[in-house]
Structure 1
Amino acid sequence: MTSSLNFPRVSVPLLLAATLFSSCARRPQASGAVASTAVSVPTPAPAATPVAPETPAPAKPAPIGDQSAAQWYLKDPELDKVPGVGATRTYAELLKNLTPTPIVVAVIDSGIDTAHVDLKPILWTNSKEIPGNGIDDDKNGYIDDVHGWNFLGGPDGRNVNAETLEMTRIVAAGRVRFKGKTAATVKPTEKADYALYQKAEKAYKKRLAEETERNKEVESMAGPLTQMVAAMKQALGTEKLDTVALKSANPDDPNLKRAIGGMLEMMRQTGAADADALLTQLNEGMKQERSLLDNSLNLNFNPRADIVKDNPDDVTQRYYGNNDLHGPDPMHGTHVSGIIAAVRDNNLGVQGLAPAPVRIMTVRAVPDGDERDKDIANAIRYAVDNGASIINMSFGKEFSPQRAAVEAAFKYAAAKNVLLVHAAGNENQNLDVSDNYPASFYMNKATVPNLLTVGASGPKDNAALPADFSNYSKKAVDVFAPGVAIFSTLPGSTFGNESGTSMASPVTAGVAAVLKSYFPKLTAADLKRIIMQSAQVHHTQVSVPGTEKTADFSTLSVTGGVVDMYEAVKLAQKAAM
């Protein structure tokens, strides 16, 4: 095959960098390093209204069936030689004759698709609330909170979607408050706030410069890559440039041969199934980069003032928001919820880790941007007050100006025997030297007794066992759990892969829910201790995330291990004797 077409050169590293800023990467503690692959579940046709005899009724699509084979993280490290959590083995061998009890797991996140076929049956329902009557029947301060609450909503039903980063908010306020002042001239009572502002200002300027440059790079790649794909399709006489078509081509033209090699490498690095998927990732990256500049890093952007109408600085204010749990983009929360408790026995879609009596309470508090400390503190208190035993928190940020309010909520949860499970973050940093909030320690350096902080691990016990995006720490990350290519629920009754510590956290919360459901007398401290003591310790030499170094995997967290449900249940059984 010959061709005289021109093939623009596209930088592979730049393309890879762009795809890392896809919509998943922007979501707190989720990473777009692995491409999403969605599988649809057809919605059954509604009952047909009477029609003329010659008009056929719409056919019912066949259901999608069981997709649990795609859930590598359910496999067992001993039986399957895969560093999963051993859930399938645990149910088959240890739990088959035991009866689980009902418990509630709260998911503080972006929202949830409440109509999802694999999630709708496991939603927590507030039995004291009459749906849709506009009255706070249970007098808990939240009107019609049937399945949870949304702290990002307004009284008129609108919702915050995109938000600024916390550093942006600190800088915007600090430039007004400290204009013309220096460390030497601020009042003694303002010194701590001024120091925080200076730190945020430095981080903000650096991030703004980086994102501005990256935006230019991504935009400059779009045209050449689009041309390259079109030219290759024409030269190869195909509309689908997947690996099969590319590897089977044997052109004489050296330009085309080089372009094919480059395209295969880009698809390999980004996980794209074909060239069109590659373009989709790039375009998504462009949109997200633009959103970062227009929203997250925009000092004048403040949608909350118009929508929520609360005072974000008043951390004592609790009763605001609305009951819209779906929100503008429930992708992240839907995926997280499915990992924990998607229906296990319907032969449809995926299997959640937790058994049937476990229910998911949704608390929407995480926007496309940085969550606010006030919302997180209120979300924790709402979950605790309404019966949650475990709270999953797949979010995080670099600054926490109202940290005291969040810590007070942590202590409130501890007093009520509630376990908190938190994603360690995706900045491939050592949390011994870098900040990520909510932190693993209180401001007085004491350990939070009811908090588990979780890093992300991959599907092979090799150098890539720690996910390359995962934060790590011998002091601040308790344990790792599967967080790469995690197959779970997505909006619209679909299913797909996502990667991030956002996924590792609900894997761990799901294991905790299993323990609490089958052994209800376990306290929050017991759950934390059992999960840490039972973790499968690995001494594999691995690549340290974000560096060129290698290290023993066991040095990357407090336990040195990956969550192991099988061993955790055995420990729980001993504790129950």
Structure 2
Amino acid sequence: MNFLKSLLFTSLFILPHLVFSQPNKPKPNWQNLDLQEDGVPGMSTEKAYKELLNDKKGEPIVVAVIDGGVDTKHEDLVNKMWVNKNEVGSDSVDNDKNGYVDDIYGWNFIGNAHGENVQYDNMELLRLIKELHPKYISVLPTTPLDEKERREFIAYQKMNTDYMGKLQIAQLTERVIKAFKNQVDSIVGNIGSDAPTQMEFKRYKPKNKMEGRTLSMINKGMEEEGDFKKFYDELKEGVKHYEAEVNYHLNMDYDPRGIVGDNYENGKERIYGNADVKGPDALHGTHVAGIIAADRNNDVGIKGVADHAKIMAIRVVPDGDERDKDVANAIYYAVDNGAKVINMSFGKPYVKDKQLVDSAVRYAVLQDVLIVHASGNEGEDNDITQNYPNRNYVDSLGLNKGKAENWIEVGATGWKYDASLVTDFSNYGKKSVDVFAPGLDINSTIPESKYKVEQGTSMAAPMVSGVAALIWSYYPSFKAADIKKIILESVVKPVHKVKVVQNKNKRKVLMSEISVTGGVVNVYNALKLAEERSKI
């Protein structure tokens, strides 16, 4: 992805949400390897299975993946899905009387009873602006406002400024990356091959300076990705991302909620959606599910962290920002249907109905469910910058009303045990981020029984969900608070400093300065500690 970064720096713009690979390549399955035995800072998962679990029997543990969809028929997940045994599939009858028809593998809260699904949605920022727009668009400095209206108006102005900046960057970046792709397509057409080799590109004589710069970036991209197809696929993903930003995420005239057909303003409404847990784009959710539970014994694909985990798929995350009503309902559904761990690899900087989500989180905590959440990919300090959902409960004025104890917030690490251990994209926070886990260059499942390397705190959170499920399956008498305590107290704490950006300046800090525990999750240590605690 460095070629895209170079392209956009050349054009004075930055690609904010794409992750740039480090030189060299990690070992396969590096996230489950051991630092001492394998030379990479993984979670020691394979060591744990070999030395601690080979003669033990575990129990099934249900992990709810609240995400953008899961391919339940993937070769590495087909035997690892939670199945609602009280429901008869595809008979259009709510057999178990839970309100959700044919919910065999979970539920989809962003679709309708006719099988139509939301694929794209706005950013929450834009939805909030559209909500306040009719009220404040004509407000003048002399317009009388009460205290509540004044606060809303100030927030509206700040959001408008943020929105216009994001829209301008997205529109300009879309043009830049599309122009670059057009140049690549032109050069490939002139070469006359669908899959040119690097030698063919090097032999190609550029017709002008623009082609020369494009060739240079193609060569860099191919060196990084290994071949033209991978390079070109990354380029197409970049184009698709910014087209979605302009056409859907930040488009004032786009609103897909009518597809769902619910009363969106009724936060108490629970029954809507459909049973299509895959949806139109299940790449992200399938990748997350594979990290947690991909079959370890089928001799294909990859090995998930938790051998007895069963994945409950709950679809609420579109291409765009998830909606708080759907997130709350997904949590209720997960808890009511037996999930013990809930993985939430999503987040956003603005919130509409935090109290609604807080109520669902409180319910989960009361039912002894553990929630694992990704810290975000902006490289920011979550102690300062808000990221939703989070563990902090608030009242109607936004004032703090305690926090959810059964919550683990996860940042991402890479596969080099040096100053770059914490990835440059990972959010952090001495008070708000509990632990770190592998999140860079993670190979996992994607739809149609394929596999792909992805990166983000979205990949780090399911590592921790997998560890929680693994401990719970072998030590089922523990409570959620016990599982959290074991995970946090058994981390590996690097003694060297790591690089982060603080106040726009790069600094080297100890991991204890940017997280609660100052460490990386470790399966081997956690299981040893669990065994000790089980005897108390």
Q: Same fold (TM over 0.5)?
A: yes
Match of 2:166 in 1: 207
Equivalent of 1:527 in 483, 488, 494: 483
User: Deviation of residue 176 (structure 1)?
Assistant: 0.9
Match of 1:573 in 2: 531
1: CA distance between counterparts of 2:20 and 2:449?
23
Which stretches in structure 1 are left out of the alignment for 5+ residues? 1-9, 26-30, 36-67
Match of 1:292 in 2: 245
Residues 300-350 of structure 1, C-alpha deviations (whole Å, 9 max, x = no match): 211111x11112221111100000111000101111000000111111111
2: CA distance between counterparts of 1:238 and 1:283?
15
Matched ranges for 1:235-314 at <5 A: 240-242=196-198, 262-268=217-223, 271-305=224-258, 307-314=259-266
CA separation of 1:462/1:131 partners in 2, compared to 1, >3 Å: closer, same or farther? same
C-alpha contact 1:407 1:442 (8 A) present in aligned 2: yes
Residues 140-168 of structure 1, C-alpha deviations (whole Å, 9 max, x = no match): 11111111000001121100000000001
> Max radius of gyration: which structure?
1
CA separation of 1:385/1:182 partners in 2, compared to 1, >3 Å: closer, same or farther? farther
Equivalent of 1:495 in 439, 442, 451: 451
1: CA distance between counterparts of 2:429 and 2:10?
25
Match of 1:536 in 2: 492
Bigger relative contact order (CA 8 A; separation at least 6): 1
User: TM-score, normalising length from structure 2?
Assistant: 0.90
User: Deviation of residue 441 (structure 1)?
Assistant: 2.3
- Where 1:363 maps in the other structure, the secondary structure is strand
2: CA distance between counterparts of 1:82 and 1:174?
50
- Where 2:273 maps in the other structure, the secondary structure is coil
Match of 1:33 in 2: 20
1: CA distance between counterparts of 2:185 and 2:204?
22
User: Deviation of residue 259 (structure 1)?
Assistant: 7.5
Equivalent of 1:153 in 83, 93, 111: 111
Match of 1:60 in 2: none
Residues 462-482 of structure 1, C-alpha deviations (whole Å, 9 max, x = no match): 122111111111111111100
2: CA distance between counterparts of 1:542 and 1:17?
28
2: CA distance between counterparts of 1:478 and 1:123?
28
The answer to which of 428-437 and 382-391 deviates more is: 428-437
Match of 2:397 in 1: none
User: Deviation of residue 246 (structure 1)?
Assistant: 7.3
User: Deviation of residue 132 (structure 1)?
Assistant: 1.5
Matched ranges for 1:151-230 at <5 A: 151-181=109-139, 185-229=144-188
User: Deviation of residue 257 (structure 1)?
Assistant: 9.8
Equivalent of 1:414 in 365, 379, 389: 365
Matched ranges for 1:458-537 at <5 A: 458-537=414-493
C-alpha contact 1:391 1:418 (8 A) present in aligned 2: yes
Match of 1:64 in 2: none
User: Deviation of residue 535 (structure 1)?
Assistant: 1.0
1: CA distance between counterparts of 2:4 and 2:318?
32
Amino acid at match of 2:184: L
- Where 1:562 maps in the other structure, the secondary structure is coil
1: CA distance between counterparts of 2:204 and 2:109?
57
Match of 2:318 in 1: 367
User: TM-score, normalising length from structure 1?
Assistant: 0.84
2: CA distance between counterparts of 1:556 and 1:378?
32
Match of 2:6 in 1: 13
RMSD: 2.9
2: CA distance between counterparts of 1:163 and 1:83?
37
Amino acid at match of 2:228: A
CA separation of 1:333/1:262 partners in 2, compared to 1, >3 Å: closer, same or farther? closer
Q: Does 1:116 align with 2:109?
A: no
2: CA distance between counterparts of 1:78 and 1:476?
29
Which stretches in structure 2 are left out of the alignment for 5+ residues? 395-399
Match of 1:54 in 2: none
Match of 1:142 in 2: 100
Q: Does 1:334 align with 2:289?
A: no
Alignment size in residue pairs? 520
User: Deviation of residue 447 (structure 1)?
Assistant: 3.4
CA separation of 1:222/1:125 partners in 2, compared to 1, >3 Å: closer, same or farther? same
User: Deviation of residue 487 (structure 1)?
Assistant: 0.9
CA separation of 1:425/1:212 partners in 2, compared to 1, >3 Å: closer, same or farther? same
2: CA distance between counterparts of 1:418 and 1:342?
22
C-alpha contact 1:15 1:282 (8 A) present in aligned 2: no
CA separation of 1:129/1:239 partners in 2, compared to 1, >3 Å: closer, same or farther? closer
2: CA distance between counterparts of 1:258 and 1:206?
28
- Where 2:239 maps in the other structure, the secondary structure is helix
2: CA distance between counterparts of 1:463 and 1:196?
38
Residues 546-565 of structure 1, C-alpha deviations (whole Å, 9 max, x = no match): 74322223322111111111
Q: Percent identity?
A: 40
C-alpha contact 2:90 2:102 (8 A) present in aligned 1: yes
CA separation of 1:302/1:257 partners in 2, compared to 1, >3 Å: closer, same or farther? closer
Match of 2:506 in 1: 548
- Where 1:572 maps in the other structure, the secondary structure is helix
Amino acid at match of 1:274: D
Match of 1:38 in 2: none
1: CA distance between counterparts of 2:4 and 2:31?
34
User: Deviation of residue 131 (structure 1)?
Assistant: 1.2
User: Deviation of residue 224 (structure 1)?
Assistant: 2.7
